[in-house]
């Protein structure tokens, strides 16, 4: 069975607005100016000048009540941009129009947990995203959030079809994962994607890959390719103090993702009701 990271296909204009609040008060200010494709920072300044501040305040309060919301919003933004186009603080170009169609077949090109590294790279390249973006937008984003055990069944219990486990998993961590996700049970039990700091936005999810403690197979595969491994080690390599700056780079990739599949003019719409086409 093909398993994808499932999500609701929500209106893209809402999702892009929501991304502006992914910062916490302790995060550095990152100002990334990006224009083109009809998007711009402050898109709603004239028509609805309080839009972004209202969304920021509302969602920040929601995340304070339930920290898991932050990871869900990251996932929704990724899926929305890929299908139809708590982190560092940065300016988000807004103005994405909503699609007129929402159906499962449109998600056929989403990355899957059991994809090979070659297929993962191909899916990202098709969207104009490179190996560095792949590392940041998948494993990097997994610094927060959780996953259901059903996404790990093959990796833990039948990796090559011989009732085996993924050899990339640290042996001690393998026992922990199997204990949390026993075969045939707890399929919908959720486990943290980053066991060391589940609600802290940092680069530890990338270090987990190097240490053999990545939860998802797709994250572990990033160490199997020279391009993605090079990007991975630039953040999680042994040269302490010389790593690339994860926060600003993650923000840059998120802005880049926001430009994937942007609809212009009559190709999209601004919905009167978020859950219905006009």
Tell me whether residue 79 is one of the annotated catalytic residues: yes
pLDDT higher than 70, residue 76:
no
CB atoms within 10 A of CB 182: 13
State pLDDT tens for residues 124-140. 999 999 999 999 999 99
The answer on whether 143 is annotated among ligand-binding residues is yes
The answer on whether 242 is annotated among ligand-binding residues is no
The pLDDT of residue 98: 78
The pLDDT of residue 33: 38
The answer on whether 94 is annotated among ligand-binding residues is no
pLDDT higher than 80, residue 161:
yes
The pLDDT of residue 30: 34
pLDDT higher than 90, residue 94:
no
- Looking at per-residue pLDDT, the higher value among 134 and 53 belongs to 134
The answer on whether 93 is annotated among ligand-binding residues is no
User: Which residue out of 78, 79, 229, 254 is catalytically annotated?
Assistant: 79
The pLDDT of residue 225: 97
The answer on whether 47 is annotated among ligand-binding residues is no
Predicted TM-score (pTM) of this structure: 0.72
39 φ, ψ to 5°?
-100, 150
Cα–Cα dist 66/117, whole Å: 33
pLDDT higher than 50, residue 2:
no
Antiparallel, parallel or unpaired: β 190-192 and 146-148: antiparallel
The pLDDT of residue 249: 92
Q: Where along the chain do its domains lie?
A: 12-110+253-267, 117-250
> By three-state DSSP, how is residue 41 classified?
coil
Residue 180's pLDDT band, with cuts at 50, 70 and 90, is very high
pLDDT higher than 60, residue 28:
no
Cα–Cα dist 144/137, whole Å: 12
The pLDDT of residue 201: 83
Domain 117-250 has CATH 2.160.10.10: no
State pLDDT tens for residues 113-125. 999 999 999 999 9
Tokens 């990355």 label which residue?
A: 111
Q: What is the dihedral of CA 85, 231, 135, 82, to 10 degrees?
A: 10
């Amino acid at each position: 069975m093909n398993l994808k990271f499932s999500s609701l296909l929500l209106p893209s204009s809402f999702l892009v607005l929501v991304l502006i609040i992914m910062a916490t008060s302790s995060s550095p200010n990152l100002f990334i100016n990006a224009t083109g494709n009809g998007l711009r920072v402050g898109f709603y300044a004239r028509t609805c000048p309080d839009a972004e501040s209202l969304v920021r305040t509302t969602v920040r309060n929601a995340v304070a009540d339930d920290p898991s919301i932050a990871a869900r919003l990251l996932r929704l933004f990724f899926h929305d941009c890929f299908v139809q186009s708590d982190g560092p603080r940065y300016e988000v170009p807004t103005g994405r129009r909503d699609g007129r169609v929402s159906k499962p077949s449109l998600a056929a090109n989403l990355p899957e947990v059991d994809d090979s590294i070659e297929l993962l790279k191909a899916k990202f390249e098709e969207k104009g995203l490179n190996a560095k973006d792949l590392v940041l937008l998948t494993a990097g984003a997994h610094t927060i959030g959780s996953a259901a055990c059903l996404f790990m069944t093959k990796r833990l219990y039948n990796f090559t079809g011989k009732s085996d486990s993924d050899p990339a998993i640290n042996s001690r961590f393998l026992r922990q994962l199997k204990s949390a996700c026993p075969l045939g049970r707890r399929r919908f039990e959720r486990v943290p994607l980053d066991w060391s700091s589940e609600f802290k936005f940092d680069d530890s999810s990338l270090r987990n890959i190097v240490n053999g403690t990545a939860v998802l197979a797709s994250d572990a595969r990033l160490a199997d390719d020279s391009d993605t491994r090079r990007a991975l080690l630039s953040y999680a390599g042994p040269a302490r103090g010389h790593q690339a700056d994860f926060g600003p780079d993650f923000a840059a990739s998120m802005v880049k993702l926001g430009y994937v599949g942007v609809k212009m003019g009559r190709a999209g719409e601004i919905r009167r009701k978020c859950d219905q086409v006009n």
